[in-house]
Amino acid sequence: MNFQKILGFPLCYKMFTFIMGDNTFYPKYINEYIRPKRGDRILDIGCGPADILKYLSDVDYTGIDSNVRYIQSAQQKYGSKGRFLCSAVGEDVLSADSRFDIIMANGVLHHLNDEDAGALFATAQQYLDPAGRLISYDGCRLEKQSLITRALFSFDRGKFIRTRDGYMRLVPPCFSTQVTIRHDLTFFPFTIIIIECRKPDEQSDSCVA
């Protein structure tokens, strides 16, 4: 069994994220970028075992992931704090009138090819409240990067770790975006791109293909 397959098991995944420093990363990421308010409706696409819930409180949380083991782990540990659905990106498992103040795609885009990434943005466009935000983070390739970062990328299960421009080409023009590159959010040197997307005040429902 290779390393990528091992990470498909919730306990192994949790151990890896602990080593990477998720207890430091998540509080910073949430406070600086997610910025949840009490009662916010949050959709977490690719929620994994939903360990981000350790750092979220007083929110209306829905997590979606295609890995049934992750969903079962999330239900067992956080069943009282949210709803958890086993579904691939783009599958219609939410009610048509669902709306969210925040949609998160944490470490998801680098697992998706361009077509599936387009389905993620279409989902966000469909279910975001008009004043809502989509926030994502992923590993990001740079022209000059540390050997440690490159090594960590080689262990990653995601096959689509992109450059900044590569990620930005995924974002439909109907979203306004704010992009941040960080190197200081994890225990090991690791380049992360954080993308925050908002819907304009008025837009066509068909602006995302």
Query: Across the chain, which distance is largest between two alpha carbons, in Å?
Result: 50
At residue 75 the predicted structure's pLDDT band, cuts being 50, 70 and 90, is very high
Residue type, 146: S
Residue type, 122: A
Residue 15 pLDDT > 50, yes or no? no
Q: With contact defined as beta carbons under 8 Å apart, do 105 and 196 qualify?
A: no
At residue 2 the predicted structure's pLDDT band, cuts being 50, 70 and 90, is very low
Residue whose C-alpha is closest to residue 66's, from 40, 85, 50: 85
Please report, rounded to a whole number, the percentage of residues in the chain having pLDDT higher than 70: 85
Tell me the three state secondary structure of residue 86: strand
Residue 62 pLDDT > 50, yes or no? yes
Q: List, as one string, the DSSP characters of 124-171.
A: HHHHEEEEEEEEEEEEEE-SS--HHHHHHHHH-S-S--EEHHHHHTTS
Q: Which CATH class is domain 3-198?
A: alpha beta
Indicate the pairing of strand 41-45 with strand 82-86. Answer: unpaired
pLDDT computed for residue 17 by the predictor: 55
Residue 59 pLDDT > 50, yes or no? yes
Residue whose C-alpha is closest to residue 185's, from 14, 31, 74, 59: 31
Give the domain ranges of the chain.
Answer: 3-198
